[in-house]
Amino acid sequence: MPQPPSRRTFLRHSLLGLGVASAASLTLKADAQPTESSGGLGSYGDYLTNQGESIDTPPAAVESNPKWTATEPNILGPFHRERAPYRGKITPPLEPGTVLLIAGTLWGLNTRKPLPAVTLDIWQANAKGRYDNDDPRNPPAPDVFLNRARVLTDEQGRYEYETIYPGAYQTGPNVWRPPHIHYLLRAQGYQSLITQLYFKGDPHQTKDPFIKNSLIIQLESHQRDQTTYQSGTFDIILAPA
């Protein structure tokens, strides 16, 4: 009896089916701007106090920009951890939730070319909106990293990873953070970038004080071998130092 394909084979074939372009065909648009950074480490309350805002203040309207500008920054939040392992899967094996495949290209604004061999720190909540280090009474072991990893861009500036769709979580009275994935990038010759990736259509985005429209992407649903998963593209542009 033939053996079913491994998870790695399944994901590799799925990503190839998304139509990845070759490096020779990649050109950054002439009007592109650097991706914005997201701010400093700390609690959400501290961040809002420093910005002169209340935790209940609704987000200001974001003016739409018809041009592709640099990636905007977003807050670091209180749950980042350094030295996560390098791996292509953010979540632990058999993590509950909808499988999510994210891919993108990292660009340099000044060269308008892809940036190879750059490390992306990526971390997120699980499907229930919990981080591995959000309970001070039960911190994770120093060598245990759940729902976080580091990913390296390839020679074409591309990156990709597998994870699960993160859950929303509450940060204050009647205030919820919508599902999101954190990014931190440090590349030689470029400004460090702290930002977040959001997903189109989540109802919590209308009241989140940190949301930025340019960071919201559209997901596509796929069905393969009786398995349903979602995929999305998040390209990043770094400003020169």
Residue pLDDT, tens place only, 36-80: 665 554 556 554 444 433 334 333 333 333 355 889 999 999 999
Give residue 24's pLDDT.
Answer: 54
The answer to whether residues 197 and 36 touch, using CB atoms and an 8 Å cutoff, is no
Higher per-residue pLDDT: 147 or 23: 147
Is 169 catalytic? The answer is yes
- Short-list 165, 236, 204, 188, CA closest to 59: 204
Is 180 catalytic? The answer is yes
Is 183 catalytic? The answer is no
Instruction: Name all domains of the chain by residue range, CATH numbers in brackets.
Output: 35-60+68-238 (2.60.130.10)
Of residues 47, 169, 183, 190, which has the active-site annotation?
Answer: 169
Of residues 148, 182, 198, 229, which has the active-site annotation?
Answer: 182
Is 137 catalytic? The answer is no
Is 182 catalytic? The answer is yes
